[in-house]
Amino acid sequence: MASLDCQHFSDWPWRFWATHRPNATAIIRGLEPVSWHRLIDEVNAVSAGFYQCGVRRGHGVALRGKNSPEILVAYLAALQLGARVLPVNPLLADSLQAQLFPLLNIDYGWCAQRNEWPIGVQPLSSPRSSGERPLSNYIAPWPSDCAVTMTLTSGSSGLPKAAVHRPEAHLANADGLLQMMEFEAGDSWLLSLPLFHVSGQGIVWRWLLKGATLVQRELHPLTDALYGCTHASLVPTQLWRLLEQTADSFALKQVLLGGAAIPIELTDRATKQGIACWCGYGMTEMASTVCAKRANDTSGVGVPLPGREMRIVEREVWLRGSGQASGYWRNGKIHPFTDQESWFHTRDRGEWKDDELYISGRLDNLFFSGGEGIQPEDIERVLVSHPQVDQAFVVPVDNVEFGQRPVAVIDANAALDLAQLSDWLRGRIARFQIPDAYYFLPSGLKTGGIKISRLAVREWVNKVHRAL
């Protein structure tokens, strides 16, 4: 069956596919297939349970936890009721939740493990996969005038913001990417990223747009998780390790790469094994991917997806178009983040050359050392090309002579000799860019999500330097 344009659904997408393809496989949990008919029964049962607990259209519902069958069903069920749904990292500090939730007007919370919430948030009982079907008037009409997702941005300072997207915006984002990257009803995508990150929700809405199959499994070992999957979102290190395994049993056809520099040797090797690699550029405020391309020997991020517009103004990337959030939610209102012409000023530093976009880093991250501008991401891109380095952060520390100097924090193989990194960097970056010091990334900064706070890294480095 041909896929539908995102504007052509007559009902919530999971309900649409349950009506039109009830016996097709919607989800594979472990090795167990789950049909669209069974999935809608589970979603309806949870909707009924939430409704009986008091959840109504426009209420704020926080869902805290790692990826699981239960949290995905709860996500769909709460949206179906017309709620505002906020997926929450389970490692988000209790004190931060207590600050955020009143500002985000969170009325109800659900968590499979520890169902304790700040004052004013009513715990919801664990969703069940069987029980009373909701009456038709429990279900918000499609498209909904009130159901939205709220996704926390990482933010460089202060409290995270909650970007608000209507479900139609998520579908529009999925539609744009899948006009470039092939993904059809007979394919399956591993849910390898958390729902509290926009990239995880991006996988979900691509699945819903196409009526394809979503795979939910433990991610370790990755070879077992990817069994039978045709599509996956991975970081380069994961793909390297995967290609070291016997590839004969892999069903992988397409991989969306992100999170680090992508070596041409990696994508060439994947291509020889029948795996097409894609890379791109995205953000929470645009519902995930904005630009994309087949990975090649350049460090560019490709071209804007259909339905998106881009400008570069004084080296800053401006965006508007499909997938754009309605704004940030705060104190009962959606506050716009665009200018009067709907342009979102991203604060990303970029340039257009050779018919594609190149992102050099965040304007907010730029600092000066002895009069020389240092963009931390320029140094980080080189550091992660070291065979023993998985991730790198370069942050400034105050210096009497130069104003500020770079320091590197490395997530790497424990056998790596940090003292040798400066010699390795010579000739690869400018002399003034070479960090003054190197540290291993402390485990306390590894949050369990897919992004580590640069602000937290900088604060940790400053504490270390003050103690010296």
- Domain check: are 287 and 378 in the same one? no
Instruction: Report CA-CA distances (Å) from 397 to 358, 404, 468.
Output: 27, 5, 13
Q: How many domains does the chain have?
A: 2
CATH number of the domain to which 320 belongs: 3.40.50.12780
Q: How far apart are CA 110 and CA 216, in angstroms?
A: 20
- Rounded to whole angstroms, the Cα distance separating 109 from 100 reads 13
Structure confidence at residue 236 (pLDDT) = 83
CA nearest neighbour of 108 among 62, 173, 58? 62
From CA 179, how far away is CA 36, in angstroms rounded?
Answer: 24
CA 343 to CA 336: how far, in whole Å? 11
Residue 400: exposure state from Cβ atoms within 10 A (0-12, 13-18, ≥19): exposed
Indicate whether 23 and 143 sit together in one domain.
yes
Residue 39 CA from chain centroid, whole number: 24
Question: What's 110's DSSP letter?
Answer: E
Q: Which domain holds residue 224?
A: 1-363
213 shares a domain with 96: yes
In tens, the pLDDT along 395-438 reads 999 998 899 999 999 999 888 999 999 999 999 999 999 999 99
What is residue 8's predicted lDDT score, i.e. its pLDDT?
75
Boundary residue ending a domain (312, 343, 363):
363
1 and 149 in a single domain? The answer is yes
pLDDT at position 128 is 54
User: What is the three-state SS of 210-271?
Assistant: HCCEEEECCCCCHHHHCCCCCEEEECHHHHHHHHCCCCCCCCCCEEEECCCCCCHHHHHHHH
- Of 329, 363, 397, the position where a domain reaches its end is 363
Q: Token pair 């992508």 is at which residue?
A: 262
Tell whether 372 and 247 lie within a shared domain.
Answer: no
Backbone angles phi, psi at 454, to 5 degrees: -65, -35
Q: What is the pLDDT of residue 134?
A: 52
Residue 440 phi/psi, 5° resolution? -75, 145
CATH code where residue 375 lies: 3.30.300.30
Q: Are 301 and 357 in contact (CB under 8 A)?
A: yes
Question: Are 151 and 222 in a shared domain?
Answer: yes
Nearest to 321 by CA among 332, 334, 311, 333: 311
Check whether residue 141 and residue 258 sit in a common domain.
yes
Task: Compute the distance between CA of residue 199 and CA of residue 67 in angstroms, rounded to an integer.
Answer: 13
Q: Which of 311, 331, 363 is the last residue of a domain?
A: 363
If asked whether residues 349 and 424 sit together in one domain, one would say no
> What is the distance between the alpha carbons of residues 332 and 190, in angstroms, rounded to a whole number?
35
Same domain for 254 and 354, yes or no, is yes
Q: Provide the whole-model pTM.
A: 0.88
Tokens of 381: 């891109």
Question: Is the same domain home to 91 and 114?
Answer: yes
List of the chain residues with pLDDT < 70: 1-7, 126-137, 154-158, 246-249, 260-261, 447-450
pLDDT digits (tens, 9 = 90+) for 186-225: 999 999 999 999 999 999 999 999 999 999 999 999 989 9
- How confident is the model at residue 186, as a pLDDT? 94
- Both tokens assigned to 172: 């529009």
Q: Are residues 180 and 160 in the same domain?
A: yes
Q: What is the pLDDT of residue 452?
A: 80
Phi then psi dihedrals of residue 243, to 5 deg: -70, -20
Q: Kindly state whether residues 254 and 380 are assigned to the same domain.
A: no
